[in-house]
Amino acid sequence: MAALLLLGGCGAREPKVIKPPKDAAAVIEPFLKELAAGNKDKAAAFVTDTATDELDNQFAGDHKKLAAAGKITPRFITLTGDYIGAIEDEREGDRQAVTLVYAAKSGEKWTTATVRAYKFQDEPYKVEYWRVANEAPKKPYSANVDAEEMEQSEKMMNVVSIILSVLGVIGIALLVWLVRRRPHLMVPEIESEPRRSASTIRELEE
């Protein structure tokens, strides 16, 4: 199992820095900057009215994580348009959303900020959802999929994958052990038919 985990760690690649849309970055990056600086009032200027309560509840923890992370850079993006969002508006059909994942790495420790913002036509973006966590960055889910449910499903799939890998290693080890302990089970011994001598044949003919 240790060998499998080692191979998995060696195969993981750090996600590259991407270039986000300018209009989205013009809102999301200042928002994260104000969070890191501890300026809640300035950060509030970038969020929707429905997200102000979340900002109050999450601010202390988010500020602490981002302040310790240093410079974060964009790593993933998901664009979504024409979907039913979290708020009700008669212009929902013109709604466009973008989810950007920013991350910073210090040693082996990651800090990730996933931020979703939306806009209507030519209006500026507004931040409606964000999550700051000490974990490696990963591609965000589609905006019309429940992120928490998908995250739980992904965790379950990872657990199942690990269990199957362990069972596979145990099965191979057991097979090798059986072959070494009981080689005749794999390659049975072939008993040669006793050959009758010429004198025996003559005695039978007489």
- Structural domain boundaries in the chain: 10-143, 146-186
Average pLDDT, the chain: 78
Q: What is the 3-state secondary structure (H, E, C) of 138-173?
A: CCCCCCCCCHHHHHHHHHHHHHHHHHHHHHHHHHHH
Per-residue exposure over 120-152, b if at least 16 CB sit within 10 Å of its own CB, e if not: eeeeebbbbbbebeeebbeebbebeeebeeeee
Length of the chain (residues): 206
**Spatial contact of 60 and 44, defined as CB atoms under 8 Å apart:** no
According to the model, what pLDDT value does residue 178 have? 77
Amino acid making up residue 200: T
Instruction: Encode pLDDT of 185-196 as tens digits.
Output: 555 555 555 555
Q: Which tens digit of pLDDT belongs to each residue from 1-16? A: 444 444 444 445 788 9
Quote the pLDDT of residue 65.
Answer: 96
Class of domain 10-143: alpha beta
Q: Is the pTM of this model over 0.85?
A: no
